[in-house]
A and B are shown apart, each in its own frame.
Chain A
Amino acid sequence: MSLYHRPIPIFWWLERRSYLVFVLRELSSVFIAWFVVYLLLLINAVSGGSAEYERFLDRSGHWWVVAINVIALLFVLLHSVTWFGLAPKAIVVRMRGRRVPPRLVAVAHYAAWLVLSAVVAWVILR
């Protein structure tokens, strides 16, 4: 019996919006890795003294570094938002015998994100 196997088109990920978001989210891991590397470089610069730190800031001011970081920020936001979209599916919380609505689980995640961001901003900007 000769079965027909439909070939997967190269641009299969453009067939649906959800497929495109999925591929972009997978790609976002590269930018997450970039932020980790960037943070390590920052820590290394800080530990190297003020001159080293100034050089790091100068390098970070180049237009292409700013551009990469803006793009990375957008991908990290996509990564975070899609992760928070997954959380209510994975986490089933029960209170007084009733399931907490999934929307509340998502809201709790966004609230925690907001609080942590505020704490980090306070530590840096105070």
Chain B
Amino acid sequence: MADQITLEVARYRPGLDTEPVMQSYQVPLREHWAILDGLTYIKDHLDGTLSFRWSCRMGICGSCGMTVNGDPQLTCATFLTDYAPGPVRVEPLRNFPVVRDLVVDIGDFMEKLPTVKPWMIRDVDSPVEEGEYLQTPEELDEYKQFSMCINCMLCYSACPVYALDPSFVGPAAIALAQRYNLDSRDEGAADRDDVLTSPEGIWACTFVGECSAACPKDVDPAAAIQRYKLTAATQAVKNFLLPRGAR
């Protein structure tokens, strides 16, 4: 195995560059080094001006999503040896405006996320003295998969619908809405329905499925969206056919 590998890194310096330019760096090819370790090596030893986001380095925080050889990846969980002999092309996440180098502006996602109210909603909160809201393992299984989302936004980067129509609420936000809709302790499904069933919500999704392929946590946002389509369609038929009390 060669002891070096080339990282071709997208550089975008606002004010200097009109568009990103690729810059090559030689980094050590070590067995346990992830792409993020290669970028950190560049930052520490070769070029301190390189900008990128990272935090936990263990696939939890969702900060280090980038485009690696064309695919959206968490760079802390993507290993250099898998790309040997290289070169490895590292670019910012697609479908987001680039702030600098590998750093993207996530403001759009941060604005959309609260619109689906991804938190526990209760009609009436039980007094604390009554203890926890109990839940069976089966009830936990209903939503657990969707609760694994780490907001890394790889799904937005993979989604061609979001690329073409940035008003789309998007895979992660809808999956997180479903995470609460399917939680036996939550009573807020009706509060989320308007946003989810709007033209920018579930119906904008055309089931490309790349969001689920890109998800590093197997959340399967495509399934969350298709599932809510069925829920919404069933509810619409009930609203049309049944009297108000029987819906």
* Interface, chain A (partner B; CB < 8 A): 1-6, 8, 12-13, 15-16, 18-19, 22, 25-26, 82, 86, 89-92, 97
Contacts and interface: CB of A to CB of B under 8 A. Distances in A.
A86 B207 contact: yes
B160 A92 contact: no
B14 A18 contact: no
The 9 closest A-B pairs by CB, nearest first: A3-B97, A90-B226, A4-B98, A89-B223, A89-B226, A90-B230, A22-B208, A2-B14, A4-B12
Given A89-B222, A89-B226, A92-B227, A8 B14 contact: no
Interface of B: 12, 14-15, 17, 19-20, 70, 94-95, 97-99, 105, 138, 160, 163-164, 206-210, 213, 220, 222-223, 226-227, 229-230
16 contacts: A1-B99, A2-B15, A3-B97, A4-B14, A4-B17, A4-B19, A6-B94, A8-B163, A16-B210, A19-B160, A22-B208, A86-B226, A89-B207, A89-B220, A89-B222, A90-B226
A93 to B, nearest CB: 11
Contacts of B20: 4
Contacts of A82: 207
B67 to A, nearest CB: 10
Given A4-B98, A6-B98, A91 B230 contact: yes
B94 to A, nearest CB: 6
A8 B164 contact: yes
A86 B23 CA distance: 41
> Taking each of A13, A19, A82, which has the highest tally of chain B beta carbons within 10 Å of its own beta carbon?
A19
A17 to B, nearest CB: 10
Contacts of A19: 160, 208, 210
B222 A15 contact: no
A8 B227 CA distance: 30
Contacts of B230: 90-91
Given A3-B14, A18-B213, A86-B226, A97 B138 contact: yes
Contacts of A25: 206
A90 B20 CA distance: 40
B247 to A, nearest CB: 20
Nearest to A90: B226
B227 A26 contact: no
Nearest to A92: B227
Nearest to B70: A15
B227 to A, nearest CB: 5
B227 A3 contact: no
Given A19-B160, A86-B207, A89-B207, 10 more contacts: A2-B15, A3-B14, A3-B97, A4-B12, A4-B17, A8-B164, A12-B160, A18-B213, A82-B207, A90-B227
